[in-house]
Amino acid sequence: MNTPGAIVRPDPNRAERFLILAAAGTPDEQVVVPLENGPPIGEYALALRAHDLSQGQLEPPVSIRVDRTRTIADGGEVTARLRREKLKEILSLWSRLTTRANYHALHRPNLEAPFQPGKDRVHYAGRHFDDREMILLMESTLDFWLTSGRFAERFEADLARFLGVKHCSLVNSGSSANLLACMALTSPRLGERRLHRGDEVITVAAGFPTTVAPILQYGAVPVFVDVTLPTYNIDCAMLEEALSARTKAVMVAHTLGNPFDLAAVKAFCDRHGLWLIEDNCDALGSRYRLNGEWHYTGTIGHLGTSSFYPPHHMTMGEGGAVYTRDARLHRLVESFRDWGRDCWCPGGRDNTCKNRFNQTFGALPPGYDHKYVYSHFGYNLKVTDMQAAVGCAQLEKLPGFIGARQRNWAFLRRELDDLADRFVLPEPTPDSDPSWFGFLLTVRPETGLSRERVVAHLEAHGIQTRMLFAGNLLKHPCFDEMRATGSGYRAIGPLETTDRIMHDTFWIGLYPGMKPGMVEYMVHHLREAASGRS
């Protein structure tokens, strides 16, 4: 169809699309890549030599068509000098085409290959993407801004709009998001409500360690209460017992996408004047009905956090976010994120406030450059624009991701319902609409089953499993010294359910990348394990 050296002129009446590249200076080295099986990308093609674009000069033989109606340069004797804007357009088009070709040639076949039971591994989670993420990543790379820039700003605005909050700050991980949410409460600007060293924060031990780590690292005291089954969330009946004169906040996660009882926790916090931080890292897109109105989790407390690590509801590789309705808390989060500086000018922009050199701070000389005034001991926890670009594409797909997770969870719950005598099956919290992260199962040891045997059977058949994170964080080596001295934390009661989770609980995946047949395969082998035929 296309001979070496041929110039391809797309016919508007045909649906075929081609990317024709000449890597060197001779037409004989052209590579023709058909794209007719890809998504609609318009009727255009490139046929050119590499050095043409490096010089901004088009010489025969060349054919570049960027839409249905206009040919920039054609064969024969045409020679064109490109404006900078047009050269950028053509190079950007070339990059998009090559990136899309890469996805369809190298990634899509693997992603769309049918599931082969017993051969393919069933992962508990993973990145789920197409060429859209790769194209935006390429665009941000060509910008070469490197740090946070236009894609980060776009993501912050789009996520805030999705959640229905005013403010969103993008950071480099969910753990950093938790750190900033906690540290924002330590600012002297909060006056009497400020979190001081030695103050207490109520939380749980049955979760991920970086929900608790910021409390300890600052020098506050975590107070651990138990959780309940089958929601795996904080036992709200223990909140009043956990309260003391030093209590300043509650910081707790929505377990694997299942919202905790926000009505009870918020009422407790409001009653006692406490801050509420929602660790929403495993629950992006979950909703809770409060006072008859639906809200996304992470937006009911004073601060919410998200993680965009690959297993999570959406990803940008590494990344996280802190969001809030409170302008003052938002400013504090961004101060701690951006080195602790007082200035709020975005990176690369100076004197946004028009007062850069005419203010006085602390003991500094009058007029000291506001860009170098520090109101907190902060960090640099920003994300790169390349990561944010991937997040922008993922965020467009988030509603679909949430729906897929909910369908997979519902299938598992329905198909495993008759195993309730063998496992404690998960249940959504009343007045909630979870965006599930995983499917939790707690073995009933009185039936003769053990978690170890069930997990071994699943793993032997290529089904990934995970514990409920720390199980009981207090039993881990990081608490050895504190356990030995009996200082640095408080636990309310023996945390019996938390210990049960540590011994008997595991979970399996339900992420949107599950191929047809995978969820059924997991059900089959869970039944085998429960029957003792493993």
Return the active site residues.
312
Q: Residue 474: CB partners within 8 Å, gap ≥ 6?
A: 205, 224, 483, 489, 491, 495
* Tokens coding 307: 């993680």
Closest CA to 472 of 240, 304, 106, 224: 224
Dihedral angle sign, alpha carbons of residues 238, 239, 240, 245: positive
Measured between alpha carbons, how far is 60 from 49 in angstroms, rounded to an integer? 9
Burial class (CB in 10 A: 0-12, 13-18, 19+), 358: exposed
Hey, is 200 helix, strand or coil? strand
Measured between alpha carbons, how far is 23 from 49 in angstroms, rounded to an integer? 7
- E strands present in 144-283: 167-171, 200-204, 221-225, 227-228, 233-234, 247-253, 275-279
Hey, is 171 helix, strand or coil? strand
DSSP states along 281-319: TT-TT-EEEETTEEEETTSSSSEEEEE-STTSSS--SS-
Measured between alpha carbons, how far is 221 from 491 in angstroms, rounded to an integer? 11
Q: How far is CA 199 from CA 79, 192, 223, 278, 354, in A?
A: 74, 12, 10, 19, 39
Dihedral angle sign, alpha carbons of residues 369, 375, 381, 382: negative
Measured between alpha carbons, how far is 91 from 96 in angstroms, rounded to an integer? 9
Dihedral angle sign, alpha carbons of residues 480, 481, 486, 488: negative
Measured between alpha carbons, how far is 333 from 433 in angstroms, rounded to an integer? 29
* Tokens coding 143: 């910008």
Measured between alpha carbons, how far is 391 from 389 in angstroms, rounded to an integer? 5
Closest CA to 169 of 48, 331, 309: 331
User: In this structure, what DSSP letter does residue 117 have?
Assistant: T
Distance separating the N- and C-terminal Cα atoms of the chain: 56
